[in-house]
Amino acid sequence: ETGVTQTPRHLVMGMTNKKSLKCEQHLGHNAMYWYKQSAKKPLELMFVYNFKEQTENNSVPSRFSPECPNSSHLFLHLHTLQPEDSALYLCASSQDGGTLSTDTQYFGPGTRLTVL
Amino acid sequence: QKEVEQNSGPLSVPEGAIASLNCTYSDRGSQSFFWYRQYSGKSPELIMFIYSNGDKEDGRFTAQLNKASQYVSLLIRDSQPSDSATYLCAVNPYQLTFGKGTKLSVIP
């Protein structure tokens, strides 16, 4: 595996389900990110982890719960989601977590989530 | 509030022409600027970044930055149908702020 991988690629869930999204980066980076991309809206940063520590939480509802066990793996746990949470969820990684202005983010393929 | 503005398009250019994509940003403290390309149903992929005022060229792509005008652009020379995608401008004073993207269509 190379780059940033995400599983599953597609997910359909009911509002009462609990599911998890997984992201793994093979780039030796120290920071990982979750973004939400909805139609006709810009990419929305959800969470940032730098050296396994959460450094950003952009007022994300508690029904989204991130977990970062190490610098290579990132999870997004989902529970009691709403239909408006249907979107493409993208994981990204970078070397320095934004502490350097030259820090560059690389994205995984995304998980297309549909909440019924 | 940090904002990054892009014309949503679609921008249509004939094959072989120069495509010009523009982006303005509100945060004067922004230090780095990125262009990503996103094909329909795919994730963003980095095309290039620019930090200093002026032009930066990479193959058929040229990024132009004017910090005084808070303006960054991407020129694509000899546009190909495979360049048809949405182009996202992202600006970094600390964390990346993305624009909504400009949809480019290159007509054969």
Which residues of chain B have a CB within 8 Å of the CB of A10? Answer: none
B62 pLDDT higher than 90: yes
Strand blocks (E) in chain A: 4-7, 10-13, 18-25, 31-37, 44-50, 53-57, 64-70, 73-79, 87-94, 106-107, 111-115
In terms of pLDDT, which residue wins out, A98 or A71?
A71
Using a CB–CB cutoff of 8 Å, tell me whether A98 touches chain B. yes
| Partner-chain contact B100 A41, CB within 8 Å | yes
- Distance, in angstroms, between A55 CA and closest chain B CA? 11
A32-55 confidence digits (pLDDT tens): 999 999 988 899 999 999 888 888
A12-38 confidence digits (pLDDT tens): 999 888 999 999 999 999 999 999 999
pLDDT of residue B84: 97
Which residues of chain A have a CB within 8 Å of the CB of B44? Answer: 43, 90, 107
How many other β-carbons are positioned within 10 Å of the β-carbon of residue A92? Answer: 25
- Distance, in angstroms, between B3 CA and closest chain A CA? 10
How many other β-carbons are positioned within 10 Å of the β-carbon of residue A27? Answer: 13
Residue B68 burial (10 A CB sphere; 0-12, 13-18, 19+): exposed
Q: Cβ distance B64 to B75 under 8 Å?
A: yes
| Partner-chain contact A107 B93, CB within 8 Å | no
CA distance A31 to B55: 29
- Distance, in angstroms, between B50 CA and closest chain A CA? 9
pLDDT of residue B19: 97
Using a CB–CB cutoff of 8 Å, tell me whether A109 touches chain B. yes
pLDDT of residue A98: 65
Phi and psi based region of residue B59 (left: phi greater than 0; alpha: psi -120 to 50; beta: remaining): left
| Partner-chain contact B44 A109, CB within 8 Å | no
Using a CB–CB cutoff of 8 Å, tell me whether A69 touches chain B. no
pLDDT of residue B43: 94
Q: Cβ distance B103 to B10 under 8 Å?
A: yes
| Partner-chain contact A56 B95, CB within 8 Å | yes
B20 pLDDT higher than 80: yes
Distances (CA, A) of B7 to A9, A12, A32, B78, B102: 30, 32, 29, 21, 6
Q: Which of B8, B43, B49, B94 to mutate to test the interface with A (most CBs of A within 10 A)?
A: B43
Pick from A73, A88, A78, A87: nearest CA to A32:
A73
Using a CB–CB cutoff of 8 Å, tell me whether A48 touches chain B. yes
